[in-house]
Structure 1
Amino acid sequence: MPNTYTQIYIQVVFATKGRDVKIKSEVRAEIEKYICGIFNNKKQKVLAIYVNPDHVHIFFSYKNLQITIPELIKTVKIESTNFINEKKLCFGKFSWQEGYGAFSYAKSQKDKVVNYVLNQEKHHSKKSFREEYIEMLNVFEIEFKNKYLFEFYD
């Protein structure tokens, strides 16, 4: 019986509501673990994740085509928001901003992207999130309007 085989690598980036610096380093690992669990429950494999104080990078192997990327990211945002608020991992009410960026990569780029995601702290010592995100949009030749980007304050 024929089957469907895929090998699709996606990096997703999204930000906290209002780009608030909400996620403290002490809770980062717990949030990352929870988000990985959501991906796993949806039959996706996270290859690298880094939760920054005001945004997140998730690099994953998109395997289960029964769920679309928009459905997956919506689920991740809702479930992780509920988790963060229920566990009181952040001061005040937490939520993610609307929208996200999703970028596809070839298998030959996998190790480079994993390294990039896992070294976010070092990367952001040289480049702001705004610079990083706009650079990604430009490299991937994604047309955008500044007024529809994340709320940037830096």
Structure 2
Amino acid sequence: MANTYTQMYVHLVFSPKNRQALIRNEWKNELERYITGIVQNNGHKLLSINAVTDHIHIFIGYNVNQMIPKLVEEIKTSTNAWINENRFSEFHFEWQKGYGAFSHSRSQIDFVINYILTQEEHHKKKSFREEYLEILRKNDIKFNADYVFEFFD
């Protein structure tokens, strides 16, 4: 459509099924590159990505021509198959149902990128569960604990 301009930034967060620590350092960079390709092939701009053992953060300049659920579905479906076909995990790999998608303003880009890139350091002080629930609260998202990611502590 002529004279239509958009600028949206979206932070995605999701976890392997049962929040299992299945993402290994030996192949996490390949996973991040694979997801980068999916994001870019769908017309989004990858700003930051970081997979840690039990979850992943993806920050994108969002292309409004694709619905977020479709993008997340494509990332999860494609990477499930790719991880299992390449036998990166000794266990069957599957992403947990659900995800978090949080919008950010342009002025927050550097903060979010740094936050994502320093996940390993961040999780020395705070668990993924604590982090995720804090993100929900900071964004004033009403949630039912029964439907938040399955956390097994």
TM-score under structure 1 length normalisation: 0.96
Code of the residue aligned with 1:118 in structure 2: it is: L
Aligned residue number for residue 45 of structure 1: 45
Code of the residue aligned with 1:112 in structure 2: it is: F
Compute the displacement of 1:26 (Å).
Answer: 1.0
Compute the displacement of 1:57 (Å).
Answer: 0.4
Per the alignment, in what secondary structure is the counterpart of residue 35 of structure 1? helix
Q: Structure 2 unaligned segments of length 5 or more: list them.
A: none
Root-mean-square deviation (CA, aligned residues, Å) is 1.0
CA deviations 1:106-134 (Å, max 9, x no partner) are 00000000000011000001000000000
Per the alignment, in what secondary structure is the counterpart of residue 150 of structure 1? coil
Compute the displacement of 1:4 (Å).
Answer: 2.1
CA pair 140-84 structure 1, distance change in 2 beyond 3 A: same
Count of paired positions: 153
Equivalent residues in 2 for 1:56-67, closer than 5 Å: 56-63=56-63, 65-67=64-66
Aligned residue number for residue 114 of structure 1: 113
- Give yes or no for the alignment of 1:152 onto 2:151: yes
Per the alignment, in what secondary structure is the counterpart of residue 113 of structure 2? helix
Code of the residue aligned with 1:20 in structure 2: it is: Q
Per the alignment, in what secondary structure is the counterpart of residue 103 of structure 2? strand
Distance 2:101 2:91 in 1: 28
Compute the displacement of 1:32 (Å).
Answer: 0.4
User: Where in structure 1 do 4 or more consecutive aligned residues deviate above 3 Å?
Assistant: none
Distance 1:56 1:87 in 2: 19
Aligned residue number for residue 2 of structure 1: 2
Equivalent residues in 2 for 1:40-119, closer than 5 Å: 40-63=40-63, 65-119=64-118
Distance 1:35 1:26 in 2: 16
CA deviations 1:22-41 (Å, max 9, x no partner) are 11111110000000000011
Code of the residue aligned with 2:141 in structure 1: it is: I
